[in-house]
Amino acid sequence: MGVIDCISAGFSAVYRKPAILVVPIIVDLLLWFTPGISPQPLIDTLASSGDSQEVQIASSGSELETSAEGLSEELFTVEDLEALGTANLAGILGTQVQSYLAFPSSGRSDQANINVETWQGLVLALLLFMLGSVVIGTIYLEMLAQQIKTGAPWPIREGHLARLASRLLGYIAIVTGIYGLIAAVCVALLVLLPQLVSVIIFLGVSAAFMALVYLLVGESALFLEDLQPIQALKRSIAFARSHVLQLAGLAILSAVLALGLQIVLGKVAAHSLGLPPAIFLNASVMTALTFAVMTYYWNHTQGESTQQ
């Protein structure tokens, strides 16, 4: 199966088995009809703590400040911080289920908010939402994996939810570390070589995209082949070496559609009559693309093993 065939299989699965849309639809409905969790008080504190209208990242140490004088551009403005304050932190629950419609969207104009007023509360909320997203994502991805392997999304393997969730959490930690390393290297190069800022940014974006491509089927391997996080990472990298162009195409297509859906459906969902179709369309398209990636991996790995 080629990329187009797998995408067609994804939309066909959504049409034939709408049950695989249950998780993202429920998550989006909860995020739109329950109070949002807002960090606005903390953002206001940060915004008012500066002496000027800008918040800058200062270099530590006078020597670094002198050498990085050319980088004294503003990195974050008050407006940027205020935009963060409108985000619903509970939307993190949807990051592992392709349910992006409510995050970082500010939600309904009349939506009630629960304000987080302490840093301890912010850390606790982030931890709870991240762990919640892992549990929800585990159910969602296991349903898709079962649909691909057995033709039915239920039942989830009994007693395996905690083990699968811990593996997904470990894999997410590894992937976060890889992207964090890329970001740290770019920041270090910007401090040491400020005159090459354009080149460094280009290299950083390129490295992040290549990491995305090589890690694209990691979660598919994790659930379809019941692997440990490190094994799934190695399998994803090995698989990408042989299918890099196809995976790059899937990654670009998914990113473009996700961005387009976020812009268009976010506006549609602002109207009460537009919310149900917006949530359904968002869940359908993003689930079909996730299913396509998993199908592409499963089809090629099973085909190659059969030939061997």
pLDDT tens string 152-177: 777 666 667 888 999 999 999 999 99
Residues in CB range of 105: below 8 A, 6 or more apart:
88, 91, 262, 266, 269
pLDDT in tens, 183-236: 999 999 988 888 888 899 999 999 999 999 999 999 999 999 988 999 999 999
What's the pTM? 0.80
Place of tokens 């932190």: 89
Q: Which positions ≥6 away from 160 have C-beta within 8 Å?
A: 142
Separation between Cα atoms, residue 235 and residue 226, nearest integer Å: 12
Q: Write down the domain spans for the chain.
A: 3-39+87-307
* pLDDT band at residue 79 using 50, 70 and 90 as cut-offs: low
pLDDT digits (tens, 9 = 90+) for 124-156: 988 998 999 999 999 999 999 989 988 877 766
pLDDT at 99 over 60: yes
Closest CA to 225 of 141, 151, 288: 141
User: What is the structure's pLDDT at 153?
Assistant: 75
CA distances from 92 to 78, 127, 130, 233, 287 (A): 23, 10, 6, 23, 17
